[in-house]
Structure 1
Amino acid sequence: MTVLVGARVFDPETGDSTRADVRLDGSRIAEVGLGLDGPRVDCSGGLLIPGLIDCHAHVAFPRPEPLPRSARILEAVPVLRGLLARGITTVRDAWGADAGFKHALRAGWITGPDLLISLRQLSPTGGLGDSWEPPAGAVDHYGDPSLPDPLFDGPDAARAAVRRMVRAGADWIKAGASGAMRAVRAGTDVRPADDELTALVDEARRCGRDVMAHAHSTAAVVSAARAGARSIEHGTFLDDSAVAALAGAWYVPTLSPISDSEFAEAHRRSVRLAVDAGVRIAAGSDLAPRPHVDLTTELRLLAAVLGEAAALKAATSEAARLLRLDDDRGRIEPGLRADLVLLDGTDLDVTDLPGRTRAVWHDGERVSAAS
């Protein structure tokens, strides 16, 4: 049992912080209040926030140069360790990590956040998940049976693709409702038909899974949201029709990857449009091991649009709600998981969260500084 004393405690639901002690009992928060008894950890002058949740990361991205398959897997080890050390305690991987990563984390072979996996990006032939490239033809960056074939053509094949992912251990189903940004801008985007998307989402539900949908364009956002995707990723080019369709979903903007591009302002306008319409926002970094952009960068960009309190909510309680984990984490309340981050200072400034991070607790255990 440990009592964290002297800090202010941030409530992401209200945006307020109050002076309180927090007692940890094993992996759970036992009590929040003043004057709690137990072995004490001095957190004076600090702010306790819930462990951060990244709803869109790629911890095991394929490398661009030809290397043995093990290189992609081994590179993920320091990536995961670094994320946890920076206070990111839960990650939804948006393709690349397989079920072996989760096993290694549970077994203690490697250190990192809790991981939810989607394995591959499901799409029709010529879409986001198709690695065919002229003049080479089919190029599978993985060649790994633990990451099954993501391609489908027709509603029945879409259902079969979902079943392949579920069989291989996917927690979420990732759908390519649009192509990559370059295809969208070039007008060569190949999107699934509406009946394919509807079948994909329906089959995912039958298998007890939710769908996250990659969608840059308005048309792709509308199709994916109407099909029932739980979250829409990127949403770079939203309009009123796309925002209206998003009323029943979460929006994960992932501002980081194109924050310095010619589309950055359009992307920020899309986020503002969604926020003004009351769309639920969850934070995701679109992290790949190269370049090293993670959720702490995304929060700085989100805060410039939403404000600091709303950005932190997007990466804690709202992210947990999207992932159906809000009865377990995302807030600092009795009974919830003891995932916490202690920041230096008591303000909500997210400009340099790594520089402010004083301590991290994951599942009740303090994360080693060496992590």
Structure 2
Amino acid sequence: MPRPAAGCVVLAGARVFDPETGETTRADVRLDGSRIAEVGRGLDGPRVDCSGGLLIPGLIDCHVHVAFPRPEPLPRSARVLEAVPVLRGLLVRGITTVRDAWGADAGHKHALRAGWIAGPDLLISLRQLSPTGGLGDGWEPPAGAVDHFGDPSLPDPLFDGPDAARAAVRRMVRAGADWIKVGASGAMRAVREGTDVRPTDDELVALVDEARRCGRDVLAHAHTSAAVVSAVRAGARSVEHGTFLDDDAVAALEHAWYVPTLAPISAGEFAETHRRSLRLAGEAGVRIAAGSDLAPRPHVDLTTELRLLAAVLGEAAALKAATTEAARLLRLDDDRGRIEPGLRADLVLLDGTDLDLTDLPGRTRAVWHDGRRVS
């Protein structure tokens, strides 16, 4: 069923958060259809009482997995259908735009656009490209080749050599990818065990170049410093995780965004190392965008990630990472990420006027997505 049309409404009496300055000011916000029409005091129009609250831009999660495969064998439709409540849950928490980093396909985007299901705006990367034995390789001893997806909408992600890397990019673009994801390092277990298989520099350069030729940017999974440096030098627009950053990696990140994804290992053995990497990046002025690494299991989302980011960077910087910086990374900053006239009417109303991020779901009073209030 198509979504109801957005109308004209004035969100009155709240304080409005500016992610660029970290400050809040008392103002009304008039929405006209899907856009913010005006920000100021005493605006005319049908009013929604937002007094005692804080308006922030709709949140942007740059690293999610809304349709992750289950470990047990199930029909392909289970992966698709499980994404429905996950997407809905994100939207009601105020997360209005997401970049999926592995698992969602073009069908999820179509269902959202058509109004069949509710959820944030969705950008997809389909699969994690990697060389044989790397992050995207489903071969598992002693079982051998295992593809948890087994889905033609998610093409083969493996490549060996620069030409094969270009072909892998083309397969993803053909299947509808908005972004290209590459495993510049292996998974955390492979890094720990010394079995990490990484692309060569020539492969990474070819992959990024082909993505650019196809009008796409690259996000690079990279735990180690060496992988971060290689990915950024090849031209990746963002680096995900960056668990083990050193001075060389931080210096390289001057030319990319860092999406730290603290939540998945926030209580693990490398949690403090990961926080130290974030502190190094923050102190060096690296551009940081928020990403939760959400998968349907466990239900970790951006509200958890923001609490962890705030503990290292402060509340205002954490919110900036999930609004203006996230929008810049995704090349959407001319459309969303701030509460300004002409931008998308994606907003979240929080109870209270402070920037406390301890319990964002508990504070969320209302959400507007594309000018429509989320029920």
**In the TM superposition, what is the alpha-carbon distance from 1:68 to its structure 2 partner?**
1.0
Q: Give a deviation string over 1:136-170, Cα, whole Å, max 9, x none.
A: 11111111111000000000000000000000000
SS at match of 1:242: helix
Q: For structure 1, which segment, 264-273 or 135-144, has the greater mean C-alpha deviation from structure 2 after superposition?
A: 135-144
- Give the match's secondary structure for 2:165: helix
- For residue 235 of structure 1, give the secondary structure of its aligned residue in structure 2: strand
Q: 2:234 — aligned with what? A: 227
Counterpart in 2 of 1:290?
A: 297
Aligned partner of 1:104 among 111, 114, 122: 111
RMSD between superposed Cα atoms in Å? 0.5
State the match for 1:247 in structure 2: 254
Alpha-carbon distance between aligned partners in 2 of 1:130 and 1:219, rounded to the nearest angstrom:
20
Shift of 1:271: 0.4
Q: Distance in 1 between matches of 2:283 and 2:93?
A: 31
How far apart are the structure 2 equivalents of 1:246 and 1:91? Answer: 22
Shift of 1:67: 1.0
Residue equivalent to 2:209: 202
Partner of 1:257: 264
- Report Cα offsets for 1:37-95 as digits up to 9, x if no partner: 00000000000000000000000000011111111111110000000000000000001
Measured in 2, the distance between the counterparts of 1:45 and 1:143 equals: 50
> CA offsets per residue over residues 6-58 of structure 1, 9 Å max, x none?
00000000000000000000000000000100000000000000000000000
**d(CA) in 2 for partners of 1:225, 1:273:** 17
Superposition deviation, residue 175 in structure 1:
0.4
| Match in the other structure for 1:347 | 354
What residue in structure 2 maps to residue 54 of structure 1?
Answer: 61
CA deviation after TM superposition for structure 1 residue 245, in Å = 0.8
How many angstroms apart in 1 are the aligned matches of 2:253 and 2:167?
27
Measured against aligned partners, the alpha-carbon deviations of 1:324-347 in whole angstroms (never above 9, x if no partner) come to 000000000000000000000000
SS in 1 for 2:199: coil
Give the 3-state SS of the residue equivalent to 1:254 in structure 2: coil
C-alpha distance in 2, partners of 1:356/1:199? 46
Moved over 2 A (4+): none
1:108-141 deviation per Cα after TM superposition (whole angstroms, max 9, x unaligned): 0000000000000000000000000111111111
CA–CA distance in 2 between the matches of 1:335 and 1:192? 42
**2-structure distance, mates of 1:313, 1:89:** 15
Distance 1:18 1:142 in 2: 48
Match of 1:216, SS? Answer: strand
C-alpha separation between the residues in 1 aligned to 2:265 and 2:79? 24
Number of residues of Structure 1 aligned to a counterpart in Structure 2: 367
TM-score by length of 2: 0.97
Distance of 1:127 and 1:328 partners within structure 2: 36
Q: Deviations over 1:289-346 (max 9, x none)?
A: 0000000000000000000000000000100000000000000000000000000000
SS at match of 2:130: strand
**TM-score, normalization: structure 1?**
0.99
The percentage of aligned residue pairs carrying the same residue is: 91
1:95 equivalenced with 2:95 (yes/no): no
In structure 1, how many angstroms separate the alpha carbons of the residues matched to 2:354 and 2:283?
25
- Which structure 2 residues correspond to residues 317-336 of structure 1 after superposition, within 5 A? 317-336=324-343
The match for 2:3 is none
Q: Summarize deviations over 1:168-187 as a string: whole Å, max 9, x none.
A: 00000000000000000100
- Listed as ranges, the gaps of 5+ residues in structure 1 are none
Q: For the residues of structure 1 that align with 2:348 and 2:65, how far apart are their CA atoms?
A: 22
> Partner of 1:65 in structure 2?
72
1:317, 1:212 → 2: CA distance? 18
Q: Write the distance in 2 (CA, Å) between the matches of 1:226 and 1:201.
A: 10
Aligned equivalents of 1:57 and 1:184: distance in 2?
22
Counterpart CA distance in 1 for 2:369 and 2:283 is: 34
Whole-angstrom distance in 1 between the partners of 2:267 and 2:149: 30
State the SS of the aligned residue for 1:244. helix
CA displacement at 1:362 relative to structure 2: 0.1
- 1:254-274 residue CA offsets vs partner (Å, 9 max, x unmatched): 000000001000000000001
Q: Deviations over 1:177-205 (max 9, x none)?
A: 00000000100000000000000000000
